[in-house]
């Protein structure tokens, strides 16, 4: 079964600084990988996804992520954080042939200092 780990529960960055949120997955084959963002009291919004192909994926709101098979990682990056990026970020993994089941990581709470 697939699993995903987000090692950082909380991260605080200054506005304008760069950001990297870590995500490690466990799955035997090539996984389906996603990053979602959730603002307080809201649903989840997809930032980006990786199914196959180019390992550097561009998403919305200036985010990108890089799939590294050798490290079983799919870290999320942004070169310059805005105060509105403060939210909860979830990494999720799905299995090839695993139907429609996504497994979510425990999330990383991002705080942005002005």
Partner 1 sequence: DTEVTQTPKHLVMGMTNKKSLKCEQHMGHRAMYWYKQKAKKPPELMFVYSYEKLSINESVPSRFSPECPNSSLLNLHLHALQPEDSALYLCASSQVLAGGPGELFFGEGSRLTVL
- Binding site residues, partner 1, CB under 8 A: 32, 34, 36, 41-46, 49, 51, 90, 94-102, 104-107
Smallest distance, Å, CB 51 to partner 1?
7
Q: Which is nearer to partner 1, 32 or 78 (CB)?
A: 32
Torsion sign across C-alpha atoms 80, 105, 60, 111: negative
What single-letter DSSP state applies at residue 80?
Answer: S
CB of 82 to partner 1, least distance (A): 22
Question: How distant, in Å, are the alpha carbons of 21, 49, 52, 67, 89 from that of 10?
Answer: 10, 22, 30, 22, 10
Q: Is the Cβ of residue 8 or residue 15 nearer to partner 1 in the bound state?
A: 8
Q: How far is the CB of 29 from partner 1 (least distance, A)?
A: 10
């Amino acid at each position: 079964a697939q699993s995903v780990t987000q090692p950082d529960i909380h991260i605080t960055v200054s506005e304008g600084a760069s950001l990297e949120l870590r995500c490690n997955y466990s799955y035997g084959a090539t996984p389906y990988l996603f990053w979602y963002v959730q603002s307080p009291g809201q649903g989840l919004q997809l930032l980006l996804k990786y199914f196959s192909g180019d390992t550097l994926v561009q998403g919305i709101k200036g985010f990108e992520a890089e799939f590294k098979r050798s490290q079983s990682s799919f870290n999320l990056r942004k070169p310059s954080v805005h105060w509105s990026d403060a939210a909860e970020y979830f990494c999720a993994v799905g299995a090839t042939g695993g139907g429609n089941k996504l497994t979510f990581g425990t999330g990383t709470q991002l705080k942005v200092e002005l």
